[in-house]
Each structure stands twice: as C-alpha cells, then as structure tokens.
Chains A and B, each alone.
Chain A
Amino acid sequence: MEPNSSIPPPVMGAAVAYPPAAGAAYSAGPYAHAHAALGALYPPPPAPGPPSSHQGGAAAAQLQLFWAEQYREIEATTDFKNHNLPLARIKKIMKADEDVRMIAAEAPVVFARACEMFILELTHRGWAHAEENKRRTLQKSDIAAAVARTEVFDFLVDIVPRDEPRDADPAAAAMGAAAPGIPQHPAAADPTTMGYYYVQPQ
C-alpha cells in the first residue's frame, strides 16, 4: 500500500507516459483482445446494401478504438481538481429526486467522468448515423437513431422520440436491427407497437 502511494504519478503527456518498447510490448495484446470483446459487445446493425454494411463495420471498429481511448485517457489523467462538468450541477440533478438524502463527495466526481463517457458514446453513435446519411451536421434524429439502436439507452426513449416522417427508412432499419432482441417478432411490423414493446423490458 505505502510503496504504491510513494510511486509518483505518471508524467504528463501520452508519449512520455508510454515508453515505446513497453508500449509496443503491452499495448497491442490487450487492445487486440479488447477489440474482439467490444466487437462482440457491439455487433454492427444489419443494414441493406453493401455501402451501409461497410460503414456499419467501420462504426464497430471505431467503437473499439473509442473504448481503448477511454482507458488511455483515464490512465493519463493528472488533473483531478478541474472537471469537464460542474460537480455542483451534477449534485443538484441528483438531489432533484426527493428520496435522495446525502451524497458522498466522490459520487459527483465519478458522475462527471461517467457523463463525459456517456456524451462521447452517444455523440459517436449519433455521428455514425449522420455519416450513413451522407450528412455533416449532427441532428436530433441521429441521436434518436443511436438511442433506438442501443439497448442500454432504452431509458432515453421518452427523451428522444423518433421523428418517423423525417427518418422513415432509418427508423425502419433501426427497428429491424432491434427486432432480434425483442421476443415478439410481430411487433417489428408496427412502429407504434414497437414503441410500446420498448417500454416493457425496462
């Protein structure tokens, strides 16, 4: 315990923090496996047409890099005083729930980092959808598509309702992707019913 605490924190800068030899020896293995694991965790959504399929594969690979980057950033963190999101605001949102009594000081600190990761992941997935539609502007419908495609984001279904008129095809594709995860296949045919069935798993 004490020897660890005596060890000085890593020097600022990724290049300096990772000696080339050690980096080469250790970085490839873990990330390669992480790629396989994350690839399994985030299978590319089935989409019609070769171009979409290719982009799906690219998106999956980018997500693997995304998580590897998260590890690298956290390992390289040296400034624990300034957070990218205000702790006081996080605490206020936590206390909006009347049942919440007291909050340990470290909880908002963890949330600040978690929300960063959440924003990055949601933005990344949304951007993948924008690219599939050959757009350079991230729109609300891209966020909605990302939410529809990612089961862990089901709790956001009410926050970002799908605009069916604008994204009829992407919405259908998203539902097609989600269908395998839903027990009742007939629901896939009806968007409205699909919405209802989304609520049940929650």
Chain B
Amino acid sequence: MDSSFLPAGADNGSAGGANNGGGAAQQAPPIREQDRLMPIANVIRIMRRVLPAHAKISDDAKETIQECVSEYISFITGEANERCQREQRKTITAEDVLWAMSRLGFDDYVEPLSVYLHRYREFEGEARGVGLAPAPPRGDHHHHHHSVPPSMLNKSRGPGSGAVMLPHHHHHDMHASMYGGAVPPPPHHGFLMPHPQGGHYLPYPYEPTSYGGEHALASGYYGGAAYAPGNNGGSGDGSGGSASHAPPGGSGGGFDHPHTFAYK
C-alpha cells in the first residue's frame, strides 16, 4: 500500500507544486475580482430556473448571490481542509467536501450530491472504456482516474471511515437541539422514501444503504468502489459495515467527539 501510495503522492506533489506556483503568482497581486466570483451570466441563468417568468432580478441581488456563492465555497472548503489536515492528507477529495457540508448544516445537499457523484463516476468509467479515438480526453480521464487512489486509500482505512460517520452524527445531535427532539425522526423517515424510488429507477445495490446523511456518505464511498477491482469492492463493503455500526456510537457523543474520533 505504501509503495502504491508513493507514486500517487509524487504525481500529486508535482501537480500541487504547479498549482502552488500558480497560486503564489496570483496571490502576489490581489486576486482579480473576475476570478473571485462566479460568472454572473451563469449565476443569473441558474437563478431564473427557480423564478417565475415575470420576475425581475435587481443588479444588487445578482451581485449579492455571486458573493454568497464564493463565500459558500470558501466556507465548505475551509471545513474540508481542516479535516484533511487532521488526518494528515494533502488532497481535498469529493468525500471531504460532502463531509464538510453535512457538518456545516447542509444535510439536504449531501444525499442528492452523493447520487450525483456516484453517477458521475459511472459516466467517467464508461467514457474511459468506450472511447479510444479521442486521445486528449482519454488523457484527462486517466488523470481523473489517478485522483481516485487517495479516495480509495481513505476508504480502505477503517478509522477514517469511522471518523466520517461519527462527526456527522455529532452534527445531527446539534441539529436536533436546534429544532427540538421532534425533528430528527422526520428527516430520516423522509430520506428513506426517495431511495426506494431511486433504487427502482437505478437498481444499484449501493442505494439501499444510503438511508440518512451518514449512509449517503457511505454511498459516496460505494461509488468509488464501483470502479475498483474486486478487492477494493470488498473493502467498500467493509466500509459500509463500519458505517452501519457508527450511528449508535455517534448518537451518544457531543461536541468533543470529532476530536476524539479524529485521532482514533
């Protein structure tokens, strides 16, 4: 495992170096306004999808949403990066992003995004298998494939998987305290139902385990396992098992648990 990790680390190091160089160059002068915000045309197009046809959007509302999106990315990234540093990893993975969202209260986002990530990985696998003619895209996909190993390594670690589950439960407790004891059951119950449909519509064996936020994270890991050899598939199942056991332990914990489990 270590020997296999080193090449990936070296590759990431090289890429990281390039990125850091670019970052340093950009940081010398303040980051351009244009680079600090999402393109306003894209933002407006997305906003209009949820507004009635007759609705107008003031310029200050457009700019405010732009600012909010950048703040959202920085907010989630900060939390995800803290987890990476605690676990002494250098690369922020998609799972870290999802974990940070659940920890910071965006539980509703985690489940649909886990489904999206799973389907994205399936698409990536199919594209890799199907196309031979387009050489440049092939290279890109190959690079994407290289980005998977860190996630797989993270998945293979039992303690890491445990850490993933328990902090979420910690947040769940906090969420319950915010809205009172009556709130927790309904969300879980609500999340149970969409999955039967999802399972029926897309018969993945991983979907049934995606009940609740913590299992949604497990679903993300299963997504990674989907493209791994049989052995990795086995480790994925193990991770799922760990996830199923995590909930009871986590429910008993308080704010201190994240630190405790970070070192476990």
A136 near B56 with CB under 8 A, answer yes
Q: Which residues of B contact A164 (CB under 8 A)?
A: none
| Cross-chain contact B200 with A22 (CB below 8 angstroms) | yes
Which chain B residue shows the least CB distance to A66?
B50
Q: Looking at the complex, which of A51-59, A99-107, A185-193 is the stretch in contact with chain B? A: A99-107
* Total interface residues in chain A, CB < 8 Å: 87
Which residue of B36, B45, B147 is within 8 Å of A105 (Cβ)? B147
Q: Which of B10-40 contact A (CB under 8 A)?
A: 12, 15-16, 19-20, 23, 26-27, 31, 35-36, 38-39
Residues of B within 8 A of A155 (CB): 71-72, 75, 104
Q: Are A33 and B36 in contact (CB under 8 A)?
A: no
Of B27, B57, B92, B104, the residue contacting A137 (CB under 8 A) is B57
Tell whether A107 pairs with B71 under 8 Å between CB atoms, given A86-B42, A100-B77. no
Tell me whether A37 and B201 are in contact in the complex, defined as CB-CB below 8 angstroms, given that A5-B226, A106-B117, A106-B144 are known contacts.
Answer: no
Cα A7 to Cα B27 with chains together (Å): 47
Task: Name the CB-closest residue of A to B35.
Answer: A92
The answer on a CB contact under 8 Å between A71 and B112 is yes
What's the dominant secondary structure at chain A's contact region? Answer: helix
**What's the interface size class on B, roughly?**
35 or more
Contact code string B70-98 (vs A, CB < 8 Å = 1, else 0):
11111111101100010000111110111
Q: State the A residues within 8 Å of B (CB).
A: 1, 4-5, 7, 9-10, 17-18, 22, 26-27, 29-41, 66-68, 70-71, 74-75, 77, 80, 84-86, 89-90, 92-107, 109-111, 113-120, 122-124, 126-127, 130, 136-140, 142-144, 147, 151-152, 155-156, 159-160, 181
